[in-house]
């Protein structure tokens, strides 16, 4: 039982989600040419991508913890956070493709960040394939923890360094900080930051449920 399993946390998550949905759709937004009302997707696409990176970092933390402590509990946590991260990644790609359709003209514009996102998903699908190809539990936990750390290290340059070296349709290319054009308007921050928390908390909630279920299953198998 951690703080994330308590009712208070769930109520907070629900309030934040409700605020993101209602405030995100109804609160005033700046009129940016070409984006218009689609700028509201910032609260969904961008914040889902942010929370995916947070969730995946939590998974890396548990993988490192597994390697130093060899507790099966940490392996279960690592894989469930990867699962949550994959769902967030798919949602982030879909919302991004919709946004791209109405601002850039195509669902897939071969933008470096779009391609990077696709590679990120390939890496984590590979992680799941790797897990299913090893039958021994200890070996599976150890090997997949190692791959998780190694793959994340190669993902970071792909997502954060390479797109800045080439032309990108995304804001933040060519060395500019990511959100300068949205930061001009402070009103969006009041929904944007809570929306990151909302998606992160929702997926921590989901992962915690799955982790507790798996821990119980493991306990039944052991007894």
**Residue 73 or residue 185: which is nearer to other proteins going by CB?**
73
* Number of other residues whose CB lies within 10 A of the CB of residue 26: 10
Binding status of residue 142 toward other proteins by CB under 8 A: yes
Stretch that binds other proteins, among 32-40, 47-55, 158-166, 188-196 (CB under 8 A): 158-166
Q: Are 94 and 117 in contact (CB under 8 A)?
A: no
Q: How big is the site for other proteins, counted in residues (CB under 8 A)?
A: 29
CA distance 216 to 60: 23
14, 27, 94, 162: which one binds other proteins (CB under 8 A): 162
The residue count for the chain: 223
The residues in 93-132 that bind other proteins, with binding defined as CB under 8 A, are 119, 122-123, 125-126, 129-130
Q: How far is the CB of 127 from other proteins (least distance, A)?
A: 8
87, 97, 146, 173: which one binds other proteins (CB under 8 A): 146
Angle between helix 112-132 and helix 137-156 axes, rounded to 10 deg: 170
Binding status of residue 173 toward other proteins by CB under 8 A: no
Binding status of residue 151 toward other proteins by CB under 8 A: yes
**Residue 164 or residue 210: which is nearer to other proteins going by CB?**
164
In the block, which residue shows the tokens 């991260």?
85
Q: What count of Cα atoms within 13 Å lies in the side-chain half-sphere of residue 46?
A: 21
**What contacts 98, CB < 8 A, 6 or more positions away?**
41, 107
Binding status of residue 3 toward other proteins by CB under 8 A: no
Closest alpha carbon to 45 in 108, 81, 118, 99? 99
Stretch that binds other proteins, among 32-40, 50-58, 134-142, 203-211 (CB under 8 A): 134-142
CA distance 81 to 207: 6
Positions that interact with other proteins (CB under 8 A): 67, 119, 122-123, 125-126, 129-130, 133-135, 138-139, 142-143, 145-147, 149-151, 153-154, 157-158, 161-162, 165-166
């Amino acid at each position: 039982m951690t703080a994330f399993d308590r009712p208070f946390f769930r109520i907070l998550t629900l309030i934040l989600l409700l605020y993101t949905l209602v405030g995100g759709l109804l609160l005033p937004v700046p009129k940016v040419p070409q984006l218009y009302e689609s700028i509201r997707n910032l609260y969904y696409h961008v914040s889902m991508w942010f929370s995916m990176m947070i969730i995946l970092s939590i998974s890396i933390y548990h993988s490192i913890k597994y390697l130093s402590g060899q507790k099966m509990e940490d392996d279960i946590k690592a894989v469930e956070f990867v699962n949550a991260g994959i769902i967030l990644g798919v949602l982030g790609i879909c919302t991004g493709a919709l946004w791209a359709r109405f601002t850039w003209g195509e669902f897939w514009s071969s933008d470096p960040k779009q391609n990077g996102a696709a590679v990120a998903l390939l890496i984590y699908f590979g992680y799941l394939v790797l897990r299913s190809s090893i039958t021994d539990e200890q070996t599976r936990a150890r090997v997949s923890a190692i791959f998780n750390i190694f793959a994340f290290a190669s993902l970071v340059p792909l997502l954060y360094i390479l797109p800045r070296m080439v032309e990108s349709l995304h804001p933040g290319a060519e060395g500019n900080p990511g959100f300068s054009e949205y930061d001009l308007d402070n009103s969006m921050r009041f929904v944007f930051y809570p929306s990151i928390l909302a998606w992160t908390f929702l997926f921590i909630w989901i992962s915690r449920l799955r982790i507790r279920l798996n821990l119980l299953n493991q306990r039944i198998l052991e007894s």
